[in-house]
Amino acid sequence: MASVLEELSKDRTAVRSFAGDWSGPELLRRAAGAAEVLRSVSNAGVAVPALLSSSPTSIALTLGAAFSGRPLAPLGTRLTPSELVPLVRGLGTAVLVADEANERVATDVAAAAGARLVVVDRVAAREPDFVATTPDSVVMVLHTSGTTGQPKPVFVRDAAVFHRSRAYQTGMGLAPGDLYCSTGGFHHTGGIGMLFVAVACGAGVVPFPRFSVERWREVRELEPSAALLVPTMIDALLEAGALGAVDLRALHYGTAPVHPDTLRAALDALGATEFCQAYGMTEGGPISILDHADHVRALAGEPGILRSVGRPLANLDWRLDAVSDDGVGELAVSGPQIFQPGPDGWLRTGDLARVVDGYLFLQGRRGDTIIRGGENIYPLEVERVLELHPGVREAAVVGVADRRWGQVVRAVVVVRDGAEAPAAADLAEHCRTQLAGFKVPVEWVFTSTLPRNAAGKLLRRDLGGLGG
């Protein structure tokens, strides 16, 4: 955190909100006030669970928690009490922190978890008296999204945050003078995690409590120069004619690839904005980056690049384990920005991938593989092809039992807004132009939304119950 302290000692904007600006020194003073609050309710060395929306106070709490040895563990504010209580208990804490916006659900969670609720909606300024952290200090605790079971805590250490920041600084060009606006939930690595990245790079932060088209239009007044959006948000903003409302130097996106048509429309709306896709996970990242030059190549005649997650970063070691005959294996990575590697120093991501010309193409999660008549089918590969169809907004595929083949492919499709639902035969033909015949879905379900958890991750296990 030495780089964070160094950058915040400089007199430039560190936080900008509709309530006004905080300079770096002012944010440090607010963080000192937050640390004082946390010292009064929690012991050093114990993570502090929190239900917070993105705000200047939540940023001060995050930094104060890290510097005082009481790392914040923000939890998803869209989770239910029954989902939140085990997470609070699992941290072994006697306190739960919340802001006024989340006080109601926090009251129920604290009571059920046997924790004391502390509501903090603002913090006073104090003179900082922080003790320097060490490379091994835990500075925040994130939770995995729980798509395959109970969310697990990930303890993020000082050294990993430093290297994560440098990786994003190189990949996105974040620099002093930038104002970074993340639309990711505060509990997410794209929220609180990118807060640390921005501050360590000398950039200011623009809190964004919860995404909506109208709120995006409003944030123009705060003049962010870089932002994080996910492709579904980009599509929603384009449909509302609002993406260009904010004049961005850089647009960072993740969680899913961008459709070539979406990219063209976004570049038209944003003009000179540079695009960057980053691939990582709660346990660490970025692992790979698809930079702006790659996006330009895609539009110049190589759209297949957009189905990749870019090239692995130079400071990472990586490999594919248990590679099948078709070149697909589980991606394992080792490097300084990996938060929670295994005992041997490697993080086995659970993501299946193949490498083509140095680019990583994800094929789905380990365990999601569909086996049809002895042939492996990787859901993500089929989904990426389906989403290239002009009438498809989102698609997900799953294997369903079949007496003859063992499994066959079912596709669940969300039609693009304003488009006529494509015929199943047309979608199948579209797939045949880019996929082997055995990978083409034979069952089709059309729906308005895909099943997702509170973090927005696809719940593939719920797809089998649709249609049929």
pLDDT per residue as tens digits for the range 170-216: 877 888 989 999 998 888 888 888 888 899 889 999 999 889 999 99
Summarised one tens digit per residue, pLDDT across range 392-420 is 988 999 998 887 888 899 999 999 887 88
Element (H, E) at 119: strand 116-119
> Does the predicted TM-score (pTM) go above 0.85?
no
Is there a single domain that holds both residue 342 and residue 447? Answer: no
Is there a single domain that holds both residue 343 and residue 378? Answer: no
CA–CA gap between residue 386 and residue 17 (Å, rounded): 40
Is there a single domain that holds both residue 302 and residue 434? Answer: no
Q: Which two tokens stand for residue 234?
A: 């980009």
Q: What is the pLDDT of residue 454?
A: 63
CA distance to 164, 279, 307, per residue, from 359 (Å): 20, 12, 10
Summarised one tens digit per residue, pLDDT across range 226-242 is 999 988 789 889 999 99
Summarised one tens digit per residue, pLDDT across range 287-345 is 999 999 999 999 898 988 988 999 999 999 999 999 988 899 999 999 999 998 999 99
Among residues 337, 362, 387, the one where a domain terminates is 362
Q: How far is CA 242 from the centre of its chain?
A: 22
Is there a single domain that holds both residue 372 and residue 442? Answer: yes
Is there a single domain that holds both residue 355 and residue 373? Answer: no
Identify which has the larger pLDDT, 452 or 17. Answer: 17
Is there a single domain that holds both residue 336 and residue 373? Answer: no
Using the predicted structure, report yes or no on whether residue 468 has a pLDDT greater than 60: no
Q: How do 226-229 and 179-182 pair as beta strands? A: parallel
The domain containing residue 85 runs over which residues? 2-362
Phi (first) and psi of residue 273, to 5 degrees:
-60, 135
Identify which has the larger pLDDT, 138 or 371. Answer: 138
Residue 467's pLDDT band, with cuts at 50, 70 and 90, is low
Q: What is the pLDDT of residue 380?
A: 86
Is there a single domain that holds both residue 358 and residue 384? Answer: no
Read off the CATH number of the domain in which 82 is found. 3.40.50.12780
Among residues 335, 362, 389, the one where a domain terminates is 362
Q: What is the mean pLDDT of residues 354-360?
A: 95
CA–CA gap between residue 26 and residue 30 (Å, rounded): 6
- Enter the DSSP assignment of 313: -
- The sign of the CA dihedral 298, 299, 303, 307 is positive
SS3 433: coil
Among residues 328, 362, 396, the one where a domain terminates is 362
The number of domains in the chain is 2
CA–CA gap between residue 203 and residue 13 (Å, rounded): 8
Using the predicted structure, report yes or no on whether residue 276 has a pLDDT greater than 60: yes
Summarised one tens digit per residue, pLDDT across range 213-271 is 999 999 999 999 999 998 878 988 999 999 999 999 999 988 767 778 888 899 889 98
CA–CA gap between residue 435 and residue 429 (Å, rounded): 10
Is there a single domain that holds both residue 227 and residue 316? Answer: yes
Is there a single domain that holds both residue 289 and residue 434? Answer: no
Is there a single domain that holds both residue 427 and residue 313? Answer: no
CA–CA gap between residue 463 and residue 413 (Å, rounded): 11
Q: What is the pLDDT of residue 146?
A: 59
Judged by phi (left if over 0) then psi (alpha if -120 to 50, else beta), residue 422 lies in: beta
Residues of the chain with pLDDT > 90: what percent? 60
Is there a single domain that holds both residue 380 and residue 356? Answer: no
Q: Which two tokens stand for residue 435?
A: 């996929």
Summarised one tens digit per residue, pLDDT across range 424-466 is 999 999 999 888 889 999 999 999 888 887 666 788 878 866 7
- Quote the mean pLDDT of the chain: 90
Q: What is the pLDDT of residue 434?
A: 86
Using the predicted structure, report yes or no on whether residue 148 has a pLDDT greater than 70: no
Q: How do 179-182 and 204-205 pair as beta strands? A: parallel
